[in-house]
Structure 1
Amino acid sequence: MSRTTPPRTVDVAVVFPQLAPLARTATRLHPRPGSPAPHESSVGGPFLWPADEPWPYCQEVHEWHDGRVDDWPAGWHEGPNAMLPLLQLYVRDVPLLRPPGQADLLQVLWCPCEHPPEHKPPTALFWRSSTDVTDILATPPKTFAVEYDEYVPEPCVLAPEQVAEYPNLLELTDELRHQLGDWSRWQAAGSGVDSSYAPYPEAFYTSELSVAPGWKVGGWPPWGLTDPVARFCTVCDSRMAPLLTISSNEWDSSNHGWIPYEDRALAEIPKAGVTNSPRVQVSQGNHLQLYVCPTSPDHPHTDLIQ
C-alpha cells in the first residue's frame, strides 16, 4: 500500500522567502484498514511485545462492570487498567525517528479513558530492538475500563510518506502574518493560488500549504485550540520536540488539497470512512500531540490536546 500527497499548488517558500529556513520534514502515516502483524508498523495492531516483560497499566482510578453471569450482574470493579496498543513504528518505515542505541521500534500505548485534570488519555512510550524479541506475548491483558469506544483504534496498516511542512500561522511573526494576508502577494505567485481565498488569504496558507493533517511523525504542531505553547523537559529543561500527532481526521472540508491521489475517488463518497480509518476521536475531534526530550529518550515524554 502506498499513498501520495499531491504537490502543493504554490511553493510558499519562493513567494515568502522568510519561510524557507522554517521548513520541516514530517512523515504522514496514512493508516488504512488492514490486518497488520506484530512485525509490521500499525495503528491498533498486535505489538511485538516480549512475553516476559510486564504489560503497562494505567494507575489512575478506574471503575468498570465486567458483564453479566447467568442473567445476574457480575459486579463493579475498581483498579488499574491495562493500556491499549495504539501505534507501533519500525524505523525502517519511518527513518525520521531517532531511536536510542540499537532500538529500531517505537511502541505507543494509551488508556482509553480521559483522566483529569486535563481530561486526556494517558500515554506510554517504549523503544526496543526488534531482534531482541524472540518470544512474543500472544494475548495482552484485557482492558476493562473503556470510557469512549473512539479510543479503541481499529487495526490499520500504514503507508508512511514524507512531506514538507511550514509552521502554523500562530507561530509566525506579526510581519510575516501581515505579508501572508496581502492578496496582491499571492496574485503575483501565479495560477496555483485558489482565488476563492481572496477575502482571507491567510486561510490558503493554513489549509493548503503549512501543516499536513492526519497522523504523522515530526513536522510542525497543529495549533488552534490554544496559542502555541513551548514544552520543556521536566528533567533537564530542554525544549521538547514534536514526536507524534494522533489525529481525529486525515482531512476535512477545509483541506482537500492534502487528500492523497489514491483516496480521491473514495473521498467523494459520503460516509466512506477513509478520512478516519482508525475510528479514533481525540477529545471530541481534536489532536493529541506527543513531545519528547531531544537530550535523552529516557526523560519522560509529555502530551498536549490541540
Structure 2
Amino acid sequence: MTRTTPARPVSVEAVFPELAAYRGRTTRLHPRPGRPGMRESHVGGPMLWPDAEPWPVCHDPHQPETEGYAPGEIRAARAAGAWPQSRPWRGAGAPGADGPVPFVGLAQLFRRDIPGLGSGPGGADLVQLFRCPFTHGPYLERRYRLRWRRAAEAESAERFFAAPPEVPQLRWHDELPEPCVLHPEEVDTYPWAEDDTLPAPLIARIDAWDDAQAEALGSEALSYQDDLSIPPGWRVGGYPSWASTGPMTIDCASCAAPMRLLLTADSGEMDAGSHSWVPLEDRDPDLHGIASIRGGRSVAQPTRLRFGRDRDLHVFTCPSGPGHTPRWVLT
C-alpha cells in the first residue's frame, strides 16, 4: 500500500514567499511492520550480506550491565501484544568481555527504491546501517556503521547469511528493530528556522506567525516547525531537524567540506505536535486531527527503535569524498 502525506494545513510559500528559494525534497520512508526480504529496502529486515564476508562486530569496551532482554523473548512479547520481561544479566557484567559484540542491522536502502538516496564510494547504490547494541564510555556513547555496496555485485553472491550473529541479551528491548517494509514518498521540505539556517528577518516573521497562531487557536494552533517544514519519521535527504541541540555545522573530518544529510532515523513517526503529517491511509476520514489516526503503535512507532531520548539520528556523508567517514548526530 502506498502512503500519502496530507496537504499541509496552509501553503507555507503563500505565508512566507521567500521560502520558495529554499524548497527541498525529502523521501519519507513510512516504515510499517511486515516481512521484508533481503533484496528489498527495509528497516529491521534481513540484510543482503554475502556469506563469505564477516559480519560487522564491535571490539570497543562496553559499559557494564545488570539486567536485559533476550531477543527471542522480545519478539514473542511483541507478537503477543505484550511487554517483554527483563532478566538479570548473564555472565560477565560488561558485554563483549567474552569476545566482540555483533552489530545489529538497522536498515538497508536501495537507490532503485529511493531515487533520492545519495551515492556511496565507487557509485555504490545500496547502503546498510548498523548499530552496536551497547553503550560505550562514561557518556554512554553509541557506535554506528555504514556499509556501502553495489547492489548488482552483492546480489550475485553464491550464498548469503541466513541468520546473522546475535547477542544473547540486550540492555533495552528497543535495541531490537521490528522488521518493517517501506513505502517511500517524496515531499517538499523547508529548513529548520533557528539561528542562521534562514535569514534573520524571515525567522523573525516565522516566530511572530507561530506566536499569533498560538494566541488565536491555543492547542489547535499550527507551527512552522511541527506542521510546515520537516516531516517526522525515517526519511532520506532533505533538511535536518535540530529540536534538542539547535543548528550545528557539520563538516567532514577528512577534507572540511560541508557534509550532506543522507538519512534520518527517528524514534517515532509522529508525536502530539507533528500528527498532521500522518498519511491519509492511516486515518479515519470521518474524524479530525489526532483522533483520526488509526493503527496505534504500528503507525506511531513502527520500528520499535529508540535513538537517544526519543531523538532523531542524522547520518551525514561527504559529497566531496563518498568514502570519507560519515558523522552521526543525535538531535
- C-alpha spacing 1:184/1:95, structure 2 compared with 1 (3 Å): closer
Q: Distance in 2 between matches of 1:304 and 1:207?
A: 20
Q: 1:53 Cα shift? A: 1.1
The aligned residue for residue 267 of structure 2 is: 248
Partner of 1:169: 193
Structure 1 residues 251-266: aligned runs within 5 Å: 251-265=270-284
2:115 equivalent to 1:95: yes
User: 1:112: how far off?
Assistant: 1.7
Amino acid at match of 2:107: L
Aligned to 2:42: 42
Q: CA deviation at 1:140?
A: 1.4
Whether the aligned pair in 1 keeps the contact of 2:126 and 2:150 (CA below 8 Å) is: yes
Whole-Å separation in 2 of the counterparts to 1:23 and 1:66:
45
Distance 1:18 1:182 in 2: 16
Residues in 2 aligned to 1:184 and 1:146: alpha-carbon distance in whole angstroms: 42
What are structure 1's unaligned runs of at least 5 residues?
68-72, 187-193
Superposition deviation, residue 145 in structure 1: 5.6
1:290 matched residue in structure 2: 315
Return the match for 1:132 from 141, 145, 153: 153
Deviations 1:212-236 (A, max 9, x none): 1000011111111111111111110
Could you tell me which amino acid in structure 1 is paired with residue 188 of structure 2? A
Q: When the two structures are superposed, what TM-score results if normalisation uses the length of structure 1?
A: 0.87
Equivalent position of 2:82 in the other structure: none
Range with greater deviation from structure 2 (56-65 or 292-301): 56-65
- Structure 1 moving runs of 4+ over 4 Å: 63-67, 183-186, 194-203, 269-272
Alignment of 1:122-271 (within 5 A): 122-133=143-154, 134=157, 135-144=159-168, 146-170=170-194, 171-183=197-209, 204-265=223-284, 268=293, 271=296
SS in 1 for 2:223: helix
Q: Tell me the amino acid that sits aligned with residue 21 of structure 2.
A: P
Distance change >3 Å, CA 93–CA 263, structure 1 → 2: same
What TM-score, normalized to structure 2?
Answer: 0.80
User: Does residue 105 in structure 1 map to residue 121 in structure 2?
Assistant: no
Q: In structure 2, how many angstroms separate the alpha carbons of the residues matched to 1:43 and 1:50?
A: 19
The share of aligned pairs that are identical, in percent, is 38
Deviation at 1:149, TM superposition (A): 1.7
Does residue 104 of structure 2 align to residue 121 of structure 1?
no
- How much has 1:105 moved relative to structure 2? 1.1
Q: Which residue pairs with 1:33 in the alignment? A: 33
Whole-angstrom distance in 2 between the partners of 1:274 and 1:200: 22
Deviation at 1:54, TM superposition (A): 1.4
Q: 1:51 offset after TM fit, Å? A: 1.0
AA paired with 2:166? K
Q: Which moved more, 1:23-32 or 1:198-207?
A: 198-207
State the alpha-carbon separation in 1 of the partners of residues 34 and 236 from structure 2: 20
User: Is the contact between residue 180 and residue 302 of structure 2 (CA under 8 Å) also seen in structure 1?
Assistant: yes
Aligned residues: 295
Q: Distance in 2 between matches of 1:202 and 1:120?
A: 37
User: In the alignment, is the contact (CA less than 8 A) between 1:181 and 1:200 conserved in 2?
Assistant: no
Does structure 1 retain, via aligned residues, the 8 Å contact 2:49–2:161?
Answer: yes
Distance 2:232 2:139 in 1: 23
Q: Contact 1:177–1:202 (CA<8 Å) still a contact in 2? A: no
Q: Amino acid of the residue matched to residue 75 of structure 1?
A: G
Alpha-carbon distance, 1:7 to partner: 1.6
Aligned to 2:55: 55
CA distance in 1, matches of 2:15, 2:160: 52
From 290, 294, 304, the counterpart of 1:279: 304
Distance in 2 (alpha carbons) for counterparts of 1:121 and 1:20:
37
- Residues 61, 80 of structure 1: 8 Å contact kept: no
In structure 2, the CA distance between the partners of 1:155 and 1:196, relative to structure 1 (3 Å rule), is farther
Partner of 2:287: none
SS in 1 for 2:283: helix
Question: Which amino acid is the alignment partner of residue 277 of structure 1?
Answer: P
Unaligned ranges ≥5, structure 2: 70-88, 285-290
- The CA distance in 2 between the partners of 1:217 and 1:208, in whole Å, is 18
Cα distance in 2, alignment partners of residues 45 and 66 from structure 1: 22
Deviates more, 1:99-108 or 1:265-274: 265-274
